[in-house]
Structure 1
């Protein structure tokens, strides 16, 4: 089979799925390990507090991964598979319009790439279920098979754009012919990296861009607030 001539990059949370994967997986992780609900609630509240205090999304992303310090890489991958099975059984996990667009790209022979601040544990099973070819997430550092709590680079904001450009260079793709889908202003760097950006939902920054620039596409967003 000939290599794909173009790629379609998809943000994940609130674009393809109706949950915040990092929070949802963290809750499952603690529950799976027998921790009381309070442990997750304290971790969640601390992360949200950092955001309210003005810390950047990239900084909060780094704090999140420190919660997994010492966890086994393979064990987390297995937890991710179990988390996905449980989450998908809800019947309201995927966001239909974006998934339909993804399937159209697959049918057209495009390279389908997931790009997310989340990491392999929840991302890999989502990618497998959707038939995505590549999942680019935040990469935790490991030592002797266990997470150190640090990451290579948060896949947030400008990091998403850099990842798309690196992949395009590796695969010989013309980004002007590629597509990208995102729901939040933090996806702007990714969306402006391609010739065919698509705003999902009603984020004011993305909506303004789509209104101003005719080459931008639009997809409906998620009607209800995301579960965490």
Structure 2
């Protein structure tokens, strides 16, 4: 398999960001194991994977499903990708802020499947296989920032229907000066208005339920 040679290619090339592969963090979520355990399974050859030029593991979803079928037969593929739940990807590099989001989502008790990522680059490793209904992201992050990630997302046709909420301490003028956001993205200023976010996520849950049924 040919590996992409740049960040831009990595998140748009079908051989890298297709539904057939995911990163280690998302694989751990699907398997219900720690990242270290998944890495160990890969090293033992129990799960199929390969490394990109940047050293990131790409794990075959087919291999994950085969491992589940062998070791946890009570889990089906539908269990790892529940169609009736809203898929949410949260990208935030600050651990305390991620925990704040996590507590809020737990308190709301909505039918939402949340995945938490500490960097834009890590998120981009998995976003095509996850196909989130909603992306919530910060902008100022080390390495690849949120604005660059969003521009790349809009070039990926697999993510055309994904809703976007950006939460940032930057003023709208500063965001525009750095390249701006996709027209359909919602920009929330910090401190976070959780009442608005709760209402927005609830509306998406309702729309998602009607669409999928």
TM-score calculated relative to the size of structure 2: 0.31
The structure showing larger relative contact order (alpha-carbon pairs under 8 Å, at least 6 residues apart) is 1
TM-score calculated relative to the size of structure 1: 0.29
